[in-house]
């Protein structure tokens, strides 16, 4: 899924709300047809999987995610909607033994950046696609192009964040278009295309709820765990102030940039 880390609190971050402005762009890019068999990689709570299933009226959709909790939530939401052509599995797409040449379309919404071995992972996904099958995914551009990263890290640390090179298996590991094309080509894909997509991301209805949402992310816990009690309070005050600066009548939003990556088996 599009997880950015282990929660720092008991709160569960709402990625569907965060990425709501990206969803129409993805829906258009997926272009799910009635007979498609869809594999959704890193499906989270299953929003994109269910959308694909509703469009694949004569086909089906499978969502996979490494998080048991997310898969359970996806199943719960799917049962409530009464969809019968969608299912979910707790699985690591890098190594899971998918049926060969089973799917016509592979999709992912910020769920492919966390592979330990991207070439192996995308090779495994490629084998699961039928000849001519498409892969459509969104991945983050570099961290220094994300307003939410800079603003949140600056608020928590009290200073501008130091530049950090994209780490393998991290949220920005596929930020370099040339590297993405190289990985997919090596994995056996063709017709690789990378295009710029920019939409704001949502953090909450008001500054307090937005600050609480941020505290459910690893990017917050990794900073706060190094601070003493007084420094934590000052960091939280700065975080609420930043959320207030980005708050409007429709909630708290930050700019973001992503790559829409398409390829074909």
Q: Which burial class, exposed, middle or buried, applies to 257 when counting CB atoms under 10 A from its CB (0-12, 13-18, 19+)?
A: middle
pTM of the model: 0.90
Cα gap 125→119, rounded to integer Å: 10
Dmax of the chain from CA atoms? 59
Cα gap 149→22, rounded to integer Å: 17
Tell me what percent of the chain is helix, strand and coil, each rounded to the nearest 5: 40, 25, 40
Q: Kindly list the domain boundaries of the chain, sorted by start residue.
A: 15-142+164-202+253-264
What is the token pair recorded at 5? 């880390």
**Among candidate residues 100, 84, 80, the one with its CA nearest the CA of residue 39:** 100
Q: Is 6 left (phi over 0), alpha (psi -120 to 50) or beta?
A: beta
The per-residue pLDDT string of the chain (265 residues; one tens digit each, 9 = 90 and over) reads 444 443 334 457 899 999 999 999 999 999 999 999 999 999 999 999 999 999 999 999 999 999 999 999 999 999 999 999 999 999 999 999 999 999 999 999 999 999 999 999 999 999 999 999 999 999 999 999 999 999 998 999 887 766 666 666 689 999 999 999 999 999 999 999 999 999 999 999 999 999 999 998 888 888 888 888 999 999 999 999 999 999 999 999 999 999 999 999 9
CATH architecture entry for 15-142+164-202+253-264: 3-Layer(aba) Sandwich (3.40)
């Amino acid at each position: 899924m599009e997880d950015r880390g282990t929660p720092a609190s008991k709160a569960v971050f709402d990625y569907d709300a965060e990425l709501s402005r990206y969803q129409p762009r993805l829906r258009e890019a997926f272009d799910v047809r009635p007979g498609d068999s869809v594999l959704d990689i890193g499906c989270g709570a299953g929003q994109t999987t269910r959308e694909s299933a509703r469009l694949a009226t004569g086909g089906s959709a499978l969502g996979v995610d490494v998080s048991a909790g997310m898969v359970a939530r996806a199943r719960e939401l799917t049962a409530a909607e009464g969809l019968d052509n969608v299912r979910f599995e707790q699985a690591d797409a890098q190594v899971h033994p998918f049926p060969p040449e089973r799917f016509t379309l592979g999709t992912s919404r910020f769920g492919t950046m966390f592979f330990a071995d991207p070439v192996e992972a995308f090779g495994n996904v490629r084998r699961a696609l039928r000849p001519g099958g498409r892969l459509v995914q969104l991945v983050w551009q570099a961290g220094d192009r994300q307003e939410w990263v800079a603003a949140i890290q600056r608020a928590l640390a009290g200073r501008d964040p130091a530049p950090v090179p994209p780490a393998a298996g991290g949220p920005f590991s596929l930020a370099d278009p040339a590297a993405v094309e190289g990985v997919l080509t090596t994995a056996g894909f063709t017709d690789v295309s990378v295009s710029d997509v920019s939409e704001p991301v949502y953090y909450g209805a008001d500054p307090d709820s937005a600050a609480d949402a941020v505290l459910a992310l690893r990017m917050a816990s990794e900073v706060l765990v190094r601070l003493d009690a007084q420094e934590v309070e000052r960091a939280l005050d700065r975080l609420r102030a930043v959320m207030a600066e980005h708050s409007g009548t429709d909630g708290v939003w930050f700019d973001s940039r992503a790559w829409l990556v398409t390829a074909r088996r």
